[in-house]
Every structure is written in structure tokens, then in C-alpha cells.
């Protein structure tokens, strides 16, 4: 049985992430990790905050904090939100860690030894007022294409055109605002991706039949355009330093590695961080080095795909060491907010901390997975969210649990009732549940999250259909044993739902499971035979009625959400 290594795109450090970021990487990775653990696999789910680069320095400057202090606080704030969403990372690290610095510098040295790094002189914007070269994002000005006056030196956020700092009209320093800028010569390290292009192309081709079309097509698009040599150092105060033993002149100038060079390496760095917490019991390297028994799955939104399918693989191929490369890239399209982009910088849409202020995590977890932007972009609207919560969570699942347990307690007391012999309806139900469970498992195995959520919803619906068919509230009037059988069968369905729903709605799954006083309840999953027999909760088992699992959302709730966050008008 393969060990499963799972990573999700590292959330950037500058601010709490929005729901689009959550559904495009961390949440589906968590759902998949939870599922694999329940099926008995050895799983390691690694993530971290991506802390280097210009935006981190600028965000720290805006808050008047040293960048290391800002990053430490922001890391803790993000981790608190992810804990609130019940993301079960094995470790959530930091790209500014000593471990990542060590491994990044090792990779750079090896690339250099193998002839894939070259020192080149380039012309770059220099600010005498600031006494430093300005990385592209430290230069602001007017976009020559659309006239937006707050365009950055790497890209115009308004028209999305890629820019060079020297393209800007009336450029100014983002640090001091000075317009007294010069273009001077300086030296940087370049990764010679052009030398590695054929190897990357062959490696991508090996995965054409395995990867989702979205990931494969993006990788091929970049390869079709050709891999260009890329600068991998920057003039910043914050980052992984260029090692002085290899490049003493650049190290003396304070050069650091470009964030997109060190960020993917942090997957490995964070694994070492995890091991360093308990070095006697954790062999971090076996997950990454000569790890033939490991299946590695990455989760990310489509904007991250080129870096993970082309650029980082070029780095790994170039170091000529047997480090683990990704087996499967699960890529997602955008989750939009009423058809427009979620935006961290423009505060547009629902952010994850705000979501948890409104409703518990399971409401969001289920909705996002059920509407994951897999085949194309999907739109978040409050109307759709409210309707989904009410129909699927409150009515189909929550109401089933509540009415079964409440009615049984009222008519039979606080223990699972005995009596009655399973008949045709129970046999038919068992076959249906086993079939739906197999469908659910199949979609989870192939990482089809919307289809998995639909299969889970169908499992919940099957219980309601059985209840309506048997109508224990009528059976109790003429045949008490028949009503006992129906309710006992329904209670077994609740327990089954608790087990198999855990990847999507873990808190609710725990509440359903704890409703029954099963002292030896160690079931990690449900076999087909158990699904057919529906007998894991025997008669006589004490139970309690949990509080309402999902509250229905009202028209007043909907109006309040739209007033706070904006609706179709944004």
C-alpha cells in the first residue's frame, strides 16, 4: 500500500485568505487526506505560509512592523483560521524556517554545480532616495496600456498585462514615493530553464494520461511558448540568502532567492520542520528522497499550475538527485463572487475569518466541496449558498437525524429499540446504500469532489426515502415491532453517515457518532457488507438527541449577508 504525500499551494502571508483560496487548494487536500486516513493509508499532509517576496515587505511596512514580526503574527492568524476550518494538516510550517533556508541553498548549489545557474548582469531600477535597487513590485506608476495609475512593475492589476518596471509611465518608488529613479547595472543569478526544457517536456508527457486536463493543458501551454532562463534572485532584505560559500559577491550585496524559487522547496522544508519537532520518531527524508513507495498529490488553483508543473520540476530535474516529484496535480478553476474575482487586495468577497464568524466550518466545507470549481469556474452567491445549506444540510441530513432520534426517544425511550425482522425494504435499502457508497468511494479515489459530494447527498437522501416509505409514525399505531425495526435501521444509517461524511463535515460527523453510546466504536470506514446489513448499532444501545445539526437560513439571514458583503452589484 502506497504512502500518500499531500501538499496544497502555500497561502501567501499578506492577509487572511478568501473562500476561493480555500476551495482551490487547502480544503480539497484536507478532504482527500481525511478520506485516505479513514481507508487505512499512511498519509502526510504538509502546508505552510509562503513568507518571502516583495508583498511581505510592503505589508509589514504598511503596518509599521519589522517583516519577521509581521510574518510571525500573520502566520499565527492564518493558522487559527485553518484550525477553525478543521484542516487536519500533519504540519503547517513557514517558508522562512531554517530548514527551508538550508534545503533551498542546497538546491541552488547543486544546480550551480550541474551547470544550470548562471550569473548575469542586468539593468534594474535604482532609487537613490532609498539607497537600493527596487524589485519590480517596488516600482509603481501608470500603466502604458490602460492608464491605471497604481500599476506595479511586474503587472497591472487593472488590465492584467505583464509589465517591466521600465514600461511604467511616471514611475515612483513604492517605499519612499520618490520619482528620482535611475536604471543601473547589477548582477543576478539565472536558472537556465532553456537547458532543461526537453527534460521537463518529457516528464510532463509522462503524465498526460493521468493529470486532469486543466493541469496538463496549462503545462503544455507554457512548454509551447518555450522555457526561458529566469532570474532567481532579488534585491530584498527578507528571503533565503544567496550562500556566501558559492556566490560571495552577491551574498555581500544582500541578494536573496526569488520567492518562487524557494516557495515550492518549502514543501520539503516544512516536512523537515515537522520531523524536527520529534526527530526520534520521524524520518522526513523517506517521504522525499528515493521515495519510490510514495504517491505525491498536489492541490492548487490554476494560477499556480505553471510553477508546479514546469518551473519547480525543472529545478528538481536539474539538481540530479532522487527527490520526489509530483505524481498527480489536482488543479482548480476560479471560485468567483457573483461572477467577479475574489480579491485580497480589494477586499471583495467572503474571507475565511468572516465566514467562520457567520456560521460553523461544516456549512462552508460542504458547500465549497459540493460546488468546487473543477471543470470550469463556479460562482459563489448568497442565494445559492442559502439554498444549498437549507436543502442538503438542514433538510436532507439534519432533519433526518433529528426526527429519527427524537421520535424514537419519544416512543421507545433512550435506547435503540428492538423488535421486527428486516424484510424486503431493508434488503433493498442495504443494496442501494452499498451501491451509493461504492460510487462515493470511486469519486473520492479519483478526486472528483463535486461528484463525491453529490454521492454523499444521495446517501443522505436514501435514508429519507426509506423513512417516507416505511412511515414509522403510522407503523407505531398498528405494529410496534415494525416501527422499531424502521427506527433501528434509520439509526444505523445515521451511524453510517457519521463515518462516511467525516471527510467533508468532520464536526457534524463527530456529533452524529457521539449520539450513540458505542464503547467499542472504532470503525474507520464502512464495508459493503456492513452497508448492506445496517446492523452496527444494535438494539439496546443508549443514545442521545444531539442539538440541531444545521440551522435553516432565513430570508433575513440572506438579506443580512448581502448587505454586509454585497450581492450581484458587488
Annotated binding site for Zn(2+), which residues?
A: 143, 146, 156, 159
What is the spatial distance between Cα 154 and Cα 164, in angstroms, rounded to a whole number? Answer: 6
Of the candidates 423, 407, 411, the one whose C-alpha atom is nearest the C-alpha of residue 494 is 407
Cα separation, 481 vs 485, whole angstroms: 6
- Which runs of consecutive H residues, i.e. helices, occur in 2-156? 19-21, 27-38, 54-63, 67-84, 98-113
Cα–Cα distance measured from residue 370 to residue 375, given in angstroms and rounded to the nearest whole number: 13
Partners of 162 in the beta sheet? 155
Residue 326 and residue 328: Cα distance in Å, rounded? Answer: 6
State the Cα–Cα distance between residues 329 and 300, nearest whole angstrom: 8
Joined grid coordinates for residue 124:
534594474
Residues of each annotated binding site: 143, 146, 156, 159, 344
In whole angstroms, what separates CA 171 from the centre of its chain? 37
Distance CA 205, CA 223 (A): 11
C-alpha cell at 101: 533556508
Q: What is the 3-state secondary structure (H, E, C) of 501-523?
A: CCCCCHHHHHHHHHCECCCCCCC
In the numeric block, the cell 536539474 is attached to 318
Closest CA to 517 of 371, 405, 424, 423: 405
Characterize 97-126 residue by residue with b for buried, 16 or more Cβ atoms within 10 angstroms of its Cβ, and e for exposed.
bebbbebbbebbbbbbebebbeeeeeebbb
Q: In what order do the strands lie in the sheet with 139-142?
A: 151-152, 139-142, 169-173
C-alpha cell at 352: 475565511
Q: What is the CA radius of gyration of the chain?
A: 27
Per-residue exposure over 477-506, b if at least 16 CB sit within 10 Å of its own CB, e if not: eeebebbbbbbbbbbbbbbbbbbbbbbbbb
Q: Where are the beta strands (DSSP E) in 225-327?
A: 230-231, 233-234, 256-257, 294-301
Query: Which residue numbers belong to the known binding site for ATP?
Result: 344
- CB count within 10 Å of CB 345 equals 9
Q: Pinpoint the alpha helices (H) of 180-291.
A: 193-205, 213-225, 248-252, 259-276
The phi, psi pair for 4, rounded to 5°, reads -110, 115
| Exposed / middle / buried, residue 519 (Cβ in 10 Å: 0-12, 13-18, 19+) | exposed
Three cell numbers, residue 328: 498527480
Q: Compute the half-sphere exposure of residue 15: CA atoms within 13 Å on the CB side of its CA.
A: 16
Helix, strand, coil proportions of the chain in percent (round to 5)?
50, 15, 35
Amino acid at each position: 500500500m502506497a504512502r500518500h504525500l499531500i501538499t496544497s499551494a502555500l497561502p501567501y502571508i499578506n492577509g487572511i485568505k478568501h473562500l476561493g483560496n480555500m476551495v482551490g487548494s487547502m480544503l480539497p487536500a484536507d478532504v482527500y487526506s481525511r478520506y485516505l486516513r479513514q481507508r487505512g493509508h499512511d498519509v502526510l499532509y504538509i502546508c505552510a505560509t509562503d513568507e518571502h517576496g516583495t508583498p511581505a515587505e510592503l505589508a509589514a511596512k504598511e503596518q509599521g512592523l519589522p517583516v519577521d514580526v509581521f510574518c510571525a503574527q500573520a502566520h499565527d492568524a492564518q493558522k487559527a483560521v485553518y484550525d477553525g476550518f478543521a484542516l487536519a494538516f500533519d504540519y503547517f510550517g513557514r517558508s522562512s524556517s531554517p530548514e527551508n533556508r538550508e534545503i533551498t541553498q542546497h538546491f541552488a548549489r547543486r544546480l550551480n554545480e550541474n551547470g544550470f545557474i548562471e550569473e548575469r548582469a542586468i539593468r534594474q531600477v535604482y532609487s537613490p532616495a532609498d539607497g537600493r535597487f527596487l524589485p519590480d513590485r517596488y516600482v509603481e506608476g501608470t500603466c502604458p496600456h490602460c492608464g491605471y495609475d497604481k500599476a506595479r512593475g511586474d503587472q497591472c492589476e487593472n488590465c492584467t498585462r505583464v509589465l517591466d518596471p521600465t514600461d511604467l509611465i511616471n514611475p515612483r518608488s513604492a517605499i519612499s514615493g520618490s520619482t528620482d529613479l535611475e536604471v543601473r547595472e547589477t548582477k543576478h543569478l539565472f536558472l537556465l530553464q532553456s537547458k532543461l526544457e526537453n527534460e521537463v517536456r518529457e516528464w510532463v508527457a509522462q503524465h498526460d494520461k493521468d493529470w486532469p486536463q486543466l493541469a496538463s493543458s496549462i503545462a503544455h501551454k507554457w512548454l509551447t511558448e518555450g522555457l526561458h532562463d529566469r532570474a532567481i534572485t532579488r534585491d530584498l532584505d527578507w528571503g533565503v540568502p544567496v550562500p556566501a560559500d558559492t556566490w560571495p559577491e552577491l551574498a555581500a550585496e544582500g541578494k536573496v532567492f526569488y520567492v518562487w524559487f524557494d516557495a515550492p522547496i518549502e514543501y520539503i522544508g516544512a516536512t523537515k520542520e515537522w520531523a524536527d519537532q520529534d526527530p526520534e520518531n520521524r524520518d522526513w527524508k523517506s517521504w522525499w528522497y528515493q521515495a519510490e513507495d510514495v504517491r505525491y498529490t498536489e492541490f492548487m488553483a490554476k494560477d499556480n499550475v505553471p510553477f508546479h508543473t514546469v518551473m519547480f520540476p525543472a529545478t528538481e530535474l536539474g539538481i540530479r538527485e532522487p527527490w520526489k516529484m509530483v505524481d498527480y496535480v489536482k488543479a482548480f478553476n476560479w471560485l468567483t463572487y457573483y461572477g467577479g474575482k475574489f480579491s485580497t487586495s480589494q477586499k471583495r468577497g467572503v474571507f475565511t475569518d468572516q465566514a467562520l464568524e457567520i456560521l460553523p466550518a461544516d456549512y462552508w466545507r460542504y458547500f465549497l466541496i459540493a460546488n468546487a470549481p473543477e471543470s470550469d469556474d463556479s460562482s459563489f452567491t448568497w442565494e445559492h449558498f442559502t439554498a444549498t445549506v437549507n436543502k442538503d444540510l438542514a433538510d436532507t441530513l439534519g432533519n433526518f437525524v433529528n426526527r429519527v432520534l427524537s421520535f424514537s426517544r419519544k416512543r421507545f425511550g433512550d435506547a435503540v429499540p428492538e423488535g421486527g425482522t428486516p424484510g424486503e425494504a431493508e434488503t433493498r435499502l442495504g443494496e442501494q446504500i452499498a451501491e451509493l457508497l461504492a460510487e462515493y468511494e470511486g469519486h473520492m479515489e479519483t478526486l472528483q469532489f463535486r461528484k463525491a459530494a453529490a454521492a454523499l447527498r444521495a446517501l443522505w437522501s436514501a435514508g429519507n426515502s426509506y423513512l417516507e416509505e416505511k412511515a414509522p409514525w403510522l407503523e407505531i399505531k398498528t405494529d410496534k415491532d415494525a416501527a422499531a425495526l424502521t427506527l433501528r435501521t434509520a439509526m444505523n444509517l445515521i451511524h453510517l453517515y457519521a463515518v462516511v461524511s467525516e471527510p467533508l463535515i468532520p464536526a457534524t460527523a463527530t456529533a452524529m457518532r457521539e449520539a450513540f453510546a458505542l464503547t467499542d466504536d472504532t470503525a474507520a470506514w464502512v464495508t459493503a457488507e456492513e452497508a448492506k446489513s445496517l446492523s452496527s448499532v444494535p438494539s439496546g444501545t443508549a443514545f442521545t438527541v444531539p442539538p440541531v445539526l444545521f440551522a435553516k437560513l432565513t430570508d433575513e439571514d440572506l438579506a443580512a449577508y448581502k448587505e454586509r458583503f454585497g450581492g450581484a452589484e458587488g
